[in-house]
Structure 1
Amino acid sequence: ALFKKLQPNSGGYQHIDAQGYPILINYRNSQSIAPKITIKDVLLGDFDPELVKNKIVLIGNTAASSNDFSFTPYSFAQLNLLKSKMSGVEIHAQATSQIISAVLNDQKLFWYWDESTEILWIFSWSIVSGGIAWHIRRPLILLLIIFLALGVLIAISYGIFIKMGWIPVAAPILGIFMTSGVVIVYKIQESWQQQNMVMKLLGQQTSPEIAQALWQERSYLINSGILPPKTVTATILFTDLKNFSTISEKKTSEALMNWLNEYLSAMTDIVINHHGIVNKFTGDGVIAVFGIPVPRTSVEEIAIDAQNAVNCALAMGQHLSQLNQKWQEQNSPELKMRVGIYTGTVTVGSLGGKNRLEYGVIGDSVNIASRLESFDKERHPGICRVLIAQETLEYLDKRFSVEPWGDLNLKGKKIPVNVYLVTGKNYF
């Protein structure tokens, strides 16, 4: 029989005193494994000589007052502290019994891995747990899988222990928690960075529904710290105030800023309430987009965006009438608004670099919406003039009253854009 010498880091040990030739002991039980004869019985001859004839005799002190006691694998099962330790001579008896059984009866000895195998074992569990934490997004499922992995680890270790193998258990458990924790912290930090980037791009100009949908699609939208360009079908809304330059000349810079903020804040709220995004302000104008950032996948969704945009424009006109009443009381002139709406394909994504990002919307549809807003400026019936193109009208499902306005000829385009004036909603 070959007894493998314990090393300082063998099995579950860490930096033990491995001088001499220490070996692992397979304890038979928590009680004494050999008959005991006291020194008194020896002196008085009060014992059976057959007990020691041709036997290995170990002499030692088992008195409770001595310090020659040590903990064993059975110690933690004992409630009595005195009984939880085993005397040194009894431990030697356990070792002697193991040596004899191994030599005479070929009893299996405890085995353990070398240091490189243990490192591979611990590293493997750490990598597996890290991979699980990386791919599982739901916290409850992740927690369940981690505890399942711990159960598998303990079951494997116990099965190996039954086969006389002693492998690290605490270290891989610690590795599972540490690796999973590092990955989770990294994902939380990455999530915060993504959220900050998204909010930097879109600002606070999104409805709660769009913000929630955007956040659910963040892995789809975000690529290497930017929003990748994407071609989608959306409805673009441009607004502008009539004679703003003339009015602004009559106000101080501070008064003009306060006046503009009141107007733009109101228009922004209306856009958000109609499930749109304010892409940017153009002085006294607003550019809003309906149908981004989450791409629409059906005609019904595109139609809803177009209807939301027209409803938004009409709501802007109604609110402008209320603002005019307030401003007239402050001796400010009445304002009128022009709105252009067009539905078509646009390319959306981030513009600029990581240090300065802007959510961009570009394409012919944006240019046409801008041209609709400024088309035939002098014709301005009512407080709010809303012009739409045939491409938007097709999605309105006769929900709005419209009148033909004329044809808009665009530079570089052979076919003119059919333009319509929205006069109100149809209630039926």
Structure 2
Amino acid sequence: MSKFLSFLRTYLTKHSRIVVPLVVFTGIISARITFPQVMQDFQFKIFDRFQMMKPRPHIASPVLIVDIDDQSLFKMGQWPWPRTYLAELVRRLQAAGAAAVVFDIVFAEADRTSPDNILSLWPKSPQLDAVQATISALPDHDKAFADALKEAPAVMGFPLTAAPNAARPKIKSGFGYAGPIPSGTLTTFWGAVPNLDLFEDAAQGIGTFTILADPDGIIRRVPLILSLADKIYPALPLEALRVAQKASNYIIKSVGGSGEAGSEENSGIVSIKTGNFVIPTDERGQLWLYDTGHVPERFLPVWKIFSQDFDTSVIDGKIIFLGTSAAGLKDIRATPLNPVTAGVEIHAQLAEQILNGQYLLRPDWAAGAEFLYLAVFGLMLIVIMNTAPAVWCAVIGLGAILFSIIFSWYAYESLHWLLDPVFPSISTLVIYLTSSLVHFLHTEFERRQIRNAFSRYMSPALVRKLAENPDQLKLGGEIKEMTVFFSDIRGFTTISEAFKPEELTTFMNEYLTPLTANILQHEGTIDKYIGDAVMAFWNAPLDNPRHGKCACRAALDIQTRLNEWNAKHQGSLLASGAPRPWIKTGIGINTGEACVGNMGSEQRFSYSVLGDSVNLAARFEGLTKIYGVNIIIGEQTQQSISDFASLEIDVIKVKGKNQAVRIFTLLGGPEYAADETFRKLVNLNQEMLLAYRARQWDEASLKAQACISLLQPQDFLNSLYALYLSRMIFFKTNAPPPDWDGITVFTEK
């Protein structure tokens, strides 16, 4: 179990750039499924904003609201009015040519002002007895109202209630079905408050004016058909259209009917047909309110109809909704554009939408398309964030958000579709920010690792540059041109015997600290310490086109610092009383192709370099003892520092290599290379080597002596020319074989 957890932790850390965004992506998908209401609230706010930005344009249509407003109440008396007033109103509207007279009011009780009803309210008295028979003979107000309704294309409204009761309003229309009966998908109620029977009998239509708001109190969708227990009733505006057209029924088309794909288990409503109108709805038979906001031209106060100069032409051919905008009558609702909308205006707007064909639709495929867009693009973004540059990722992420918003607006403005730009946009933003954060943390982790791994082997400036650009580091291994450096204290075994253990530790720290500082100062990377030896290299992990010069400059500075260090400690004694030894260091430098990267095992590895050029650099360091020089460099290194002071010393073959290499000693930088004495030395040295390789021993000896004459007695180059003089003396008496080409072959490492 512990191995599995360790593996899982390693895997998650290694693949966090993919795993973490995928976890967030899964959480977003889960939230969409688990908390649909929260997601819907976001959607609705955006859909409201769309309508605020571009409301439905009000087009003149045969719909008019006869309004029981505050002025009408002032002129005609408080509500409720006697039903004789209403009867007269209906007769006037019918005479003016109303296509339908629709009541957004329920008349569930008898008129208290009717003669019989008002008699019961008066106290008994002889005077009442004298007129009671006369009053009782007067026409009943409710009957008068019913008679007027019977003569007009009247539609009565009623409310549905959640509280169960046995009341069931009459149904004036028939229902036909194209597809399964959608009773299970309708908004269902269990009680109703119907009109009096004589009104229901007299009316040509009966519809419910019940409107349900969303959880935030705003009305956005209105059901056109609803269920009361096991019966289906039309909404008031739908019934008004049926009566106005003198149609007799509705055709409800469901999924699975007349070519609509689906099944009985998924029998949502597709559309409702009445007369000449086919009305698209959502699966619950609801119509989205395409809001115009309040339009004063839609209203006609009741009192004007009773005025003598009333122009009846404003009524002719129109569907008349009778309702109230008076605040005291409490039929005030909130819509996307108006928080104080009269309920009757909502019914009138729905009728207008149907008459004008101005529908606002939330396609049944919208949720699936939004989910698919989120899923596909979310996964694509996660992949892109791990492959593309950061700028392109930002452009793609922003593009996806803009596309979602722009396309949603286009769909609303041009197609009147409601598509959600919020959830895909927020999800894209969350995925992008999460991926960016993970990338940032991962990069910071890489930088910290790089700083920790290389801070002891590279200069702080290089470590900082490498941390800022970790992509430049190829830890897996690569072949590239490198300059490799080896240094070693000559005679270290003998020197170490003079020190006590604690003195030796202090001595090594004092020696290696400035040597390391010089390498780092010249942009080198410390590979390893091997006792008194140091291995370093240039041109990795960061590219350095001046790697040869940097390595040579470091070697020269090391020799200078070493001379200063020796001079500083000259004459000092060790704890044993012995004089402190003089330290000499040999340095080998070579340039060539090598493999650099993490080397080692799974348990332990280090950033190192391997190759033939590395081995040659180590051999060069060992040859400094033989040639008596401080620094030996290879030919490729010498070519990279042509302006430095270097001197060819031999052509050699080392053990295990068949190819001869030309070696040089490094004496100084460009300043010393310009010295007149050095330039003479270079020429004499070259003449000596040519004579030596031509077997002209006497001539070569003379040139060697000439070179020595240019040197100071303490100059280490004296050892080099002494070596050549000894060789020439040997060859005078022991002639080399005929195939000798002047190459020195070393048979030992």
TM-score range, shorter chain: 0.7 to 0.9
How far the C-alpha of 1:168 sits from its partner, in A, is: 0.4
- Does the C-alpha gap of structure 1 residues 63 and 233 become closer, same or farther in structure 2, counting only changes over 3 Å? same
Q: Which string of whole-angstrom CA distances, capped at 9 and with x for unpartnered residues, describes residues 194-227 of structure 1?
A: 33444455344224665466557644644xxxx2
Q: Secondary structure at the match of 1:231?
A: strand
- Does the C-alpha gap of structure 1 residues 188 and 49 become closer, same or farther in structure 2, counting only changes over 3 Å? same
Q: Counterpart of 1:183?
A: 435
Q: Counterpart of 2:540?
A: 292
Q: Distance in 1 between matches of 2:377 and 2:633?
A: 62
How far the C-alpha of 1:319 sits from its partner, in A, is: 0.9
Conserved? CA contact 2:451–2:467, under 8 Å? no
Conserved? CA contact 1:202–1:279, under 8 Å? no
- Does the C-alpha gap of structure 1 residues 143 and 24 become closer, same or farther in structure 2, counting only changes over 3 Å? same
Q: Counterpart of 2:343?
A: 88
Q: 1:123 and 2:375 equivalent?
A: yes
Q: Which string of whole-angstrom CA distances, capped at 9 and with x for unpartnered residues, describes residues 352-411 of structure 1?
A: 356633112011111111121122636646xxx11123343333315213251x555422
How far the C-alpha of 1:52 sits from its partner, in A, is: 5.6
Spell out the pairing of 1:67-82 with structure 2 (5 A cutoff). 68-75=331-338
Q: Distance in 2 between matches of 1:258 and 1:95?
A: 95
Q: Counterpart of 1:411?
A: 655
Q: Counterpart of 1:394?
A: 639
Q: Secondary structure at the match of 1:388?
A: strand
For residue 161 of structure 1, the aligned residue among 412, 428, 435 is 412
Spell out the pairing of 1:25-424 with structure 2 (5 A cutoff). 25-32=289-296, 34-38=298-302, 55-64=318-327, 68-75=331-338, 84-102=339-357, 107-114=358-365, 115-127=367-379, 129-130=381-382, 133-138=385-390, 143=394, 146-162=397-413, 163-199=415-451, 201-207=453-459, 210-211=462-463, 214=466, 218-219=470-471, 221-222=473-474, 227-251=475-499, 253-294=501-542, 301=545, 304-328=546-570, 331=573, 332-352=580-600, 356-375=604-623, 377=625, 380=628, 385-404=630-649, 406=650, 408-424=652-668
Q: Secondary structure at the match of 2:287?
A: coil
Q: Give unmatched runs, 5+ long, in structure 1.
A: 1-6, 76-83
- Does the C-alpha gap of structure 1 residues 412 and 147 become closer, same or farther in structure 2, counting only changes over 3 Å? closer
User: How many residue pairs get matched?
Assistant: 394
Q: Secondary structure at the match of 2:286?
A: coil
Conserved? CA contact 1:232–1:295, under 8 Å? no
Q: Larger radius of gyration, structure 1 or 2? A: 2
How far the C-alpha of 1:151 sits from its partner, in A, is: 3.3
Q: Distance in 2 between matches of 1:130 and 1:63?
A: 57
One-letter amino acid of the counterpart of residue 335, structure 2: T
Q: Distance in 2 between matches of 1:200 and 1:209?
A: 14
How far the C-alpha of 1:310 sits from its partner, in A, is: 1.7
Conserved? CA contact 1:125–1:175, under 8 Å? no
Q: Distance in 1 between matches of 2:656 and 2:393?
A: 57
- Does the C-alpha gap of structure 1 residues 67 and 244 become closer, same or farther in structure 2, counting only changes over 3 Å? farther
Q: Give unmatched runs, 5+ long, in structure 2.
A: 1-35, 46-212, 216-220, 227-284, 574-579, 675-749
Q: Counterpart of 1:78?
A: none
One-letter amino acid of the counterpart of residue 420, structure 2: P
Q: Distance in 2 between matches of 1:305 and 1:319?
A: 21
Aligned residues: percent identity?
24
- Does the C-alpha gap of structure 1 residues 42 and 315 become closer, same or farther in structure 2, counting only changes over 3 Å? same
Q: Distance in 2 between matches of 1:93 and 1:153?
A: 33
Higher relative contact order (CA 8 A, sep 6+): 1
Q: Distance in 2 between matches of 1:118 and 1:201?
A: 47
How far the C-alpha of 1:96 sits from its partner, in A, is: 2.4
Q: Secondary structure at the match of 1:74?
A: coil
- Does the C-alpha gap of structure 1 residues 113 and 187 become closer, same or farther in structure 2, counting only changes over 3 Å? farther
Cα RMSD over matched residues? 3.7
One-letter amino acid of the counterpart of residue 35, structure 1: F
TM-score normalised by structure 1 residue count:
0.77
Q: Distance in 2 between matches of 1:95 and 1:269?
A: 85
Conserved? CA contact 2:290–2:359, under 8 Å? no
Q: Secondary structure at the match of 1:394?
A: helix
Conserved? CA contact 2:482–2:538, under 8 Å? yes
- Does the C-alpha gap of structure 1 residues 63 and 244 become closer, same or farther in structure 2, counting only changes over 3 Å? farther
Q: Distance in 2 between matches of 1:237 and 1:67?
A: 94
- Does the C-alpha gap of structure 1 residues 249 and 113 become closer, same or farther in structure 2, counting only changes over 3 Å? farther
- Does the C-alpha gap of structure 1 residues 261 and 44 become closer, same or farther in structure 2, counting only changes over 3 Å? farther
- Bigger shift: 310-319 or 394-403? 394-403
One-letter amino acid of the counterpart of residue 117, structure 1: A
- Does the C-alpha gap of structure 1 residues 212 and 337 become closer, same or farther in structure 2, counting only changes over 3 Å? same
- Bigger shift: 246-255 or 275-284? 246-255
Q: Distance in 2 between matches of 1:70 and 1:136?
A: 52
TM-score normalised by structure 2 residue count:
0.47
Q: Secondary structure at the match of 1:275?
A: coil
Q: Distance in 1 between matches of 2:340 and 2:492?
A: 93
- Bigger shift: 195-204 or 268-277? 195-204
Q: Distance in 2 between matches of 1:415 and 1:181?
A: 58
Q: Distance in 2 between matches of 1:57 and 1:232?
A: 90
How far the C-alpha of 1:66 sits from its partner, in A, is: 6.4
Q: Counterpart of 1:4?
A: none
Conserved? CA contact 2:472–2:541, under 8 Å? no
